[in-house]
């Protein structure tokens, strides 16, 4: 029996730590928080702001096991992460397991290495209640904001919506950027580029130092350029240097992993968590760029052995943020002799961290920048060519050069040939092209993280969940924006001849950038109009500062909550009582056929167009918007086009064919089958021939690719990736298989593995009643349809074993279900028969029911 019990929050961390501790230690995992605020109800006393914590149902078995282990141990070591969340996990464990100060010790470490673990054991402390209180303040304040603001949204905008302190501010940033883009008026100018040749015919690319506002000015300049001799007017060479960036913080790691590896912030943090738990890197939630002396020495040793002493320049960095905790370290490798690891995906992120840390301890790169001025005294403006040469690569040897998303691709600085002042150059080509200014770019995930950090909103642990939340709640998405086309003028001077041409240029398109949804815009506008102080960037940042003060002991958390709530709650009551409903409604104009108003607004099922008014004798008619359309920007002409859908085509193979648009976009309906129309294709352009082509493509895609025991196997790609289908069972196909070329043995293996898993899933099943007893992650459960129910204890207050559940009758299971949901088997009421409508002089068109979704 182990005298010492160590509790960490993750099983991977437990496994790594167990390697470093002897037989006197047993390491267990709490799987994160063992208790939290209840899922239903606010769970907070609004008089005292005391939270009502409870052990979540899926953790009760685990807590029982931990209590049993605590009884056997002489000392319990609480070893959760060193941030506020980790401190709160330790506190909840101490409270729930009834640990006293004399039989518990709190240990922290920022890397999971043998030295760090043993050093932590030698230097224990007690739980830091200030850190716990800072976490409680954040949790309680965010729960209050969400629970009080969300019902206001249900009443004033649409049921089922939610609001949150940080997430709403993140949505505001995305919405405001989109409005800025819509309101942007581009300015046009003519930019001139020249390619010149020296006496050895080496090319020099240069730009004119001034843009022309008008086409005539650009053309006049080219006419003049035909008649002059170009010379090198000046050559300026300047020495310069580039220094390495600081080691990674959480924010900069997320940004760099996005630009260099294409990882989203959630994926980056998942991989970083694994690297930390497996002992490869230091703690990955940090806003400090500080490195320990041990790390600086380790990097120095590695740099000298790998690159040479001239590449080593040990230094420490200081964090600009006043809230950063300098006692923590930046994200770095725990062992600089480990350059790569076996797991390919983990290794990519690890090597990025490794190279960034190493580069931060390396010499500056030395460069020589050259500027060549080209022109003639007769010309009003001169050309300039810029280039640079790396004299000593320094840190670039380890890290290389990467462009940021804000850098202009045209600003590539190249190596220039040697020229002398007064040297005559000939021009190969001079081009004047019409260029439009561009609005600010939409946010990428990395860009949004950078902006949140810049504004002081959120902390390292909140960036990834915030960005995931606003996508999950469908306030923003990353849909593709189709580019528009415009004409631009290009004037070229070649061989003393001027040629003018009109080209087509695409603009405004975007991929993988955040765009607000219709509901995201409406919710944001409602919140900013009615809760401007909550969505104020300065307020949100000041709340974060209050949490920091609580963590340092400079402020009491319940006093901070009382002050906040005394201002917040009256505002909630006022908005609920007096604010107007919000649906983003715009009147687009008048329908020429009926003379009625055409509205764009948010309805029960999302964004829609409505012709007519709700209180008209003749009911209004509705149409759904298509992907890429927006109630804030759609015009009358495009809105009226939507009412041409759905439309019927001729039967195909004795089945009716129609074209429509549903929740998941435009579709062709063939019989009872809905087939998505390819992305970017206008449903109104679908004729009989094209519809039959789409149906044929679907039939081919759905054709069996093989069989298993006489039953056909089909394949497809869905929301969770590639799959095969056997009978009614969908089977995911892992990456290790060649999905395009599955062999019969591959199919047999996939089907048999799935069937075996399904067989182990059911303890008992009554298919006709849609009831089953199943093995789940935390023990057996009862399912009725899609609903899950607990299995009660036996009469002797003990739990059922799995083999005992094989003998339980259907009637007994129904009693268990009814005890938890009395209406589970109640007959659904039939809808009341509609009264026949009174006859009218004119035929009315009814509002269509919600259209079915197109099948993927």
Sign of the alpha-carbon torsion through 601, 604, 609, 613: negative
Q: Report the candidate in 233, 170, 470, 525 with the shortest Cα–Cα distance to residue 371.
A: 233
Cβ atoms of residues 52 and 38 within 8 Å: yes
Backbone angles phi, psi at 449, to 5 degrees: -60, -45
DSSP assignment of 45-94 equals ETTTTEE--EE-GGGHHHHHHHHHHHHH-SEEEE---SSHHHHHHHHHHH
Q: Judging by beta carbons within 10 Å of its beta carbon (0-12, 13-18, 19+), is residue 855 exposed, middle or buried? A: middle
Stated length of the chain: 856
Tokens of 347: 């290794």
Per the annotation, the verdict on 283 as an active-site residue is: yes
Query: What number of CA atoms fall less than 13 Å from residue 131's CA on the CB side?
Result: 17
Q: What is the DSSP letter of 101?
A: G
Q: Which helix (H) or strand (E) holds 783?
A: strand 779-784
Q: How far apart are the first and last CA of the chain?
A: 56
Q: Which helix (H) or strand (E) holds 257?
A: none
Instruction: Give alpha helix (H) positions in 335-444.
Output: 344-360, 396-399
**Catalytic member of 276, 283, 354, 789:** 283
- Measure CA 641 to chain center: 34
Q: Report the candidate in 456, 531, 555 with the shortest Cα–Cα distance to residue 153.
A: 531
CA distance 414 to 202: 13
Cβ atoms of residues 274 and 323 within 8 Å: no
User: How do strand 35-36 and strand 54-55 relate by DSSP bridges?
Assistant: antiparallel
CA distance 406 to 440: 9
Q: What is the dihedral of CA 429, 430, 435, 440, to 10 degrees?
A: 80
- Measure CA 789 to chain center: 33
User: How do strand 4-8 and strand 25-29 relate by DSSP bridges?
Assistant: parallel
Point out which residues pair with 281 in neighbouring strands: 333
CA distance 26 to 193: 71
Classified as helix, coil or strand, 656 is strand
Q: What is the DSSP letter of 823?
A: T
Neighbouring CB atoms inside 10 A of 499's CB total: 12
CA distance 188 to 506: 15
Q: Which helix (H) or strand (E) holds 540?
A: helix 537-552
Q: Report the candidate in 534, 243, 521 with the shortest Cα–Cα distance to residue 361.
A: 243
- Measure CA 595 to chain center: 44
Instruction: Give alpha helix (H) positions in 73-200.
Output: 84-96, 114-122, 129-156, 165-183
CA distance 193 to 80: 60
Task: Give catalytic residue positions.
Answer: 283
């Amino acid at each position: 029996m182990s005298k010492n019990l160590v509790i960490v929050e993750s099983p991977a961390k437990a496994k790594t730590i167990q390697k470093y501790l002897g037989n006197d230690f047993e390491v267990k995992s709490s799987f994160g928080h063992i208790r939290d605020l209840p899922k239903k109800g606010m769970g907070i006393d609004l008089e005292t702001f005391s939270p009502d914590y409870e052990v979540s149902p899926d953790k009760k078995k685990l807590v029982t096991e931990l209590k049993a282990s605590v009884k056997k141990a002489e000392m319990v070591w609480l070893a959760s992460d060193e941030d506020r969340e980790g401190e709160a996990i330790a506190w909840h464990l101490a409270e729930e397991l009834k640990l006293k100060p004399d039989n518990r010790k709190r240990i922290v470490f920022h890397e999971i290495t043998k030295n760090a673990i043993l050093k932590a054991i030698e230097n224990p402390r007690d739980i830091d209640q200030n850190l716990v209180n800072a976490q409680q303040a954040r949790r309680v304040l965010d729960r209050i904001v969400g629970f009080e603001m969300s019902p206001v949204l249900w009443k004033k905008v649409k049921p089922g919506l939610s609001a949150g302190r940080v997430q709403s501010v993140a949505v505001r940033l995305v919405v405001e950027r989109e409005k800025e883009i819509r309101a942007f008026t581009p300015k046009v100018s003519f930019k001139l580029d020249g390619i010149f040749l020296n006496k050895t015919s080496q090319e020099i690319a240069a730009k004119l130092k001034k843009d022309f506002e008008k086409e005539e000015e650009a053309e006049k300049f080219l006419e003049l350029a035909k008649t002059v001799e170009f010379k090198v007017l000046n050559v300026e060479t300047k020495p310069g240097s580039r220094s390495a960036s600081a080691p990674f913080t959480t924010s900069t790691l997320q940004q760099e992993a996005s630009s260099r590896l294409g990882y989203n912030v959630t994926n980056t943090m998942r991989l970083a968590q694994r690297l930390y738990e497996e002992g490869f890197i230091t703690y990955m939630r940090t806003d400090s760029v500080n490195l320990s002396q041990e790390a600086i020495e380790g990097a120095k040793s590695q740099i000298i052995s790998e690159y040479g002493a001239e590449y080593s320049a040990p230094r420490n960095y200081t964090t600009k943020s006043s809230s950063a905790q300098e006692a923590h370290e930046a994200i770095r490798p725990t062992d600089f002799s480990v350059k790569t690891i076996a797991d390919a995906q983990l290794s990519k992120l690890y090597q990025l961290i490794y190279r960034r840390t190493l580069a931060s301890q390396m010499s500056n790169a030395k460069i020589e920048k050259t500027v060549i001025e080209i022109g003639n005294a007769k010309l009003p403006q001169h050309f300039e060519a810029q280039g640079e040469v790396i004299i000593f690569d320094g840190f670039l040897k380890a890290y290389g050069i990467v462009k940021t998303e804000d850098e202009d691709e045209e600003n590539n600085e190249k190596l220039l040939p040697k020229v002398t002042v007064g040297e005559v150059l000939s021009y190969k080509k001079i081009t004047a092209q019409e260029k439009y200014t561009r609005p600010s770019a939409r946010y990428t995930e990395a860009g949004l993280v950078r902006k949140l950090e810049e504004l002081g909103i959120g902390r390292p642990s909140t960036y990834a969940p915030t960005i995931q939340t606003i996508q999950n709640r469908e306030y923003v998405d990353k849909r593709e924006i189709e580019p528009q086309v415009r004409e631009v003028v290009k004037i070229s001077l070649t061989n003393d001849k001027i040629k003018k041409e009109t080209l087509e240029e695409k603009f405004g398109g975007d991929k993988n950038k955040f765009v607000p949804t219709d509901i995201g815009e409406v919710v944001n506008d409602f919140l900013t109009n009615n809760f401007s102080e909550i969505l104020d960037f300065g307020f949100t940042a000041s709340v974060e500062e209050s949490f920091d003060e609580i963590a340092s002991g400079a402020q009491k958390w319940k006093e901070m909550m009382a002050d906040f709530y005394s201002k917040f709650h009256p505002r909630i009551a006022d908005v609920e009582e007096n604010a107007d409903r919000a649906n983003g409604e715009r009147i687009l104009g008048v329908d020429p056929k009926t003379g009625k108003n055409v509205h764009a607004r948010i309805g029960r099922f999302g964004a829609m167009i409505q012709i007519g008014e709700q209180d008209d004798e003749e009911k209004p008619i509705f149409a759904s918007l298509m992907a890429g359309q927006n109630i804030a920007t759609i015009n009358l002409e495009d809105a009226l086009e939507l009412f041409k859908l759905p439309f019927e085509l001729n039967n195909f193979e004795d089945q009716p064919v129609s074209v429509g648009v549903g929740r998941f976009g435009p579709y062709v309906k063939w019989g009872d089958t809905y087939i998505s129309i390819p992305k970017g294709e206008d449903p109104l352009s679908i004729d009989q021939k094209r519809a039959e082509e789409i149906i044929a493509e679907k039939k081919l895609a759905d054709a069996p690719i093989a069989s298993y025991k006489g039953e056909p196997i089909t394949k497809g790609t869905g929301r969770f990736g590639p799959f095969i289908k056997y009978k009614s069972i969908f089977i995911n196909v892992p990456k290790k298989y060649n999905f395009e070329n599955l062999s019969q043995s591959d199919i047999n293996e996939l089907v048999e593995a799935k069937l075996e898993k399904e067989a182990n899933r059911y303890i008992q099943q009554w298919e006709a009643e849609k009831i089953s007893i199943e093995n789940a992650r935390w023990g057996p459960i009862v399912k009725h349809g899609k609903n899950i129910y607990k299995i009660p204890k036996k009469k002797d207050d003990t739990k059922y074993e799995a083999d005992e559940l094989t003998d339980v009758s259907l009637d007994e299971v129904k009693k268990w279900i009814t005890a938890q949901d009395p209406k589970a088997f109640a007959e659904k009421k039939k809808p009341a028969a509609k009264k026949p409508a009174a006859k009218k002089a004119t035929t009315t068109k009814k509002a269509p029911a919600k259209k079915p979704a197109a099948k993927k």
